[in-house]
């Protein structure tokens, strides 16, 4: 009987689904105010040149300090933000913080880049290029200091429009990276058409690189391919020293992962970089 009453001609409402939707609706309402109420916080994770051990960049990662739910990771609210159409204002906010940090780094004569994750929806916003140009001018930051990370999937919905946007961004002088590489379906021929300069190998291949022949084969192929196309390769998710050693032997240029640092508060980045270069190999 309890199954029967929720059933209509076209849909079956399962109680779990109802509560999930309510929860989702609640989060949606709150997400609209999260930025203005300063509940969104930025973390950053350093990117290391594997041979010299220099910090070459930091990737900015968003978090939501929810008043009741505590700390939420991007997996818990970004999809919702995309569905609600609030991802673009979120991205704008992240970009401004990133560019402000770049200005601060320049002031302290720290030369490293900042990477920002861009959603597929952002690539369809015509004003992205102009607003980015204004932002870089406002803080007197060189476009080449900023890296925009996008996933292969960002190009799927409207490939022509997304490609035009990528070309405009590249013309502006920002660097473009393909994130989570290896999980999508990009052909090598297609990759060559993209105005990108970096490929980030997905962490799912890196975590167990020291004991997986399959993941070693895939990562090796990506590194070789990237070299042939003059892309910088960044391995994500380096947790073990053995993985780092293997990546160096395989010719991977850069890495990011808990081995060097877990993501931490963006404000602490300039100081972290100074400390790191001071005492390079003390992890």
Which residues contact ligand C2E (rule: CB under 6 A)?
45, 61-62, 73-75, 78, 94, 117-119, 149, 179-180, 203, 236-239, 256-258, 263
Residues 6+ apart with CB under 8 A from 266: 41, 42, 43, 44, 60, 97, 101
Check binding of 244 to Mg ion (CB under 5 A).
no
- Inter-helix orientation angle 128-138/87-107, to 10°: 30
Residue 135 interface partner, choices ligand C2E, Mg ion, none, CB cut-off 5-8 Å depending on type: none
Check binding of 152 to Mg ion (CB under 5 A).
no
Q: Scanning residues 165 to 184, which ones bind Mg ion (CB under 5 A)? A: 179-180
Residues 6+ apart with CB under 8 A from 268: none
Pairing status of strand 175-181 against strand 198-201: parallel
Q: Which of 47, 117, 145, 256 forms a contact with Mg ion (CB under 5 A)? A: 117
Which residues does residue 264 pair with via DSSP β-bridges, in sequence order? Answer: 44
Assess contact for 115 and 144: CB atoms under 8 A.
no
Residue 94 interface partner, choices Mg ion, ligand C2E, none, CB cut-off 5-8 Å depending on type: ligand C2E
Residue 55 interface partner, choices ligand C2E, Mg ion, none, CB cut-off 5-8 Å depending on type: none
Q: What is the DSSP secondary structure assignment for residue 95, as one 8-state letter? A: H
Nearer to Mg ion, 122 or 149 (CB): 149
Least separation in angstroms between residue 240's CB and ligand C2E is 9
Please tell me the number of Cα atoms within 13 Å of 187 on its side-chain side. Answer: 3
Cα gap 96→64, rounded to integer Å: 17
Least separation in angstroms between residue 148's CB and ligand C2E is 10
Least separation in angstroms between residue 69's CB and ligand C2E is 15
Residue 263 interface partner, choices Mg ion, ligand C2E, none, CB cut-off 5-8 Å depending on type: ligand C2E
Degrees to nearest 5, angle at CA 29 with 23 and 35 = 120
Nearer to ligand C2E, 178 or 194 (CB): 178
**Which segments within 67-171 are labelled E, that is strand?**
70-72, 113-117, 146-151
Assess contact for 247 and 222: CB atoms under 8 A.
no
Residue 237 interface partner, choices Mg ion, ligand C2E, none, CB cut-off 5-8 Å depending on type: ligand C2E
Tokens at residue 22, please? 């309510």
Nearer to ligand C2E, 117 or 219 (CB): 117
Q: Scanning residues 25 to 84, which ones bind Mg ion (CB under 5 A)? A: none
CA nearest neighbour of 197 among 219, 160, 170, 171: 170
Least separation in angstroms between residue 244's CB and ligand C2E is 11
Least separation in angstroms between residue 40's CB and Mg ion is 17
- Residues within the interface to Mg ion (CB under 5 A): 117, 149, 179-180, 236
């Amino acid at each position: 009987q309890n199954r029967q009453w929720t059933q209509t001609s076209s849909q079956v409402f399962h109680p779990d689904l109802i509560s999930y939707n309510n929860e989702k609706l609640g989060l949606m309402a709150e997400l609209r105010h999260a930025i203005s109420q300063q509940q969104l916080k930025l973390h950053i994770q350093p990117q290391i040149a594997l041979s010299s051990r220099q910090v070459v960049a930091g990737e900015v990662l968003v978090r939501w300090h929810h008043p009741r739910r505590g700390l939420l990771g991007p997996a818990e609210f970004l999809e919702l933000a995309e569905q609600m159409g609030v991802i673009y204002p979120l991205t704008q906010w992240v970009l401004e913080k990133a560019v402000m940090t770049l200005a601060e780094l320049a002031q302290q004569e720290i030369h490293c880049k900042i990477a920002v994750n861009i959603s597929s929806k952002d690539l369809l916003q015509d004003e992205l290029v102009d607003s980015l140009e204004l932002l870089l001018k406002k803080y007197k930051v060189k476009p080449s200091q900023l890296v925009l990370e996008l996933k292969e999937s960002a190009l799927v919905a409207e490939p022509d429009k997304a490609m035009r946007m990528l070309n405009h961004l590249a013309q502006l002088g920002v660097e473009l990276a393909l994130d989570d590489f290896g999980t999508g379906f990009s052909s090598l021929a297609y990759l060559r058409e993209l105005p990108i300069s970096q490929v980030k190998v997905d962490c799912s291949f890196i975590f167990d690189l020291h004991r997986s022949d399959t993941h070693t084969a895939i990562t090796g192929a990506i590194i070789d391919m990237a070299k042939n196309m003059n892309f910088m390769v960044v391995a994500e998710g380096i947790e073990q020293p053995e993985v780092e050693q293997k990546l160096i032997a395989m010719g991977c240029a850069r890495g990011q992962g808990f081995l060097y640092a877990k993501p931490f508060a963006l404000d602490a980045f300039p100081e972290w970089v100074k400390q790191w270069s001071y005492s390079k190999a003390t992890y």
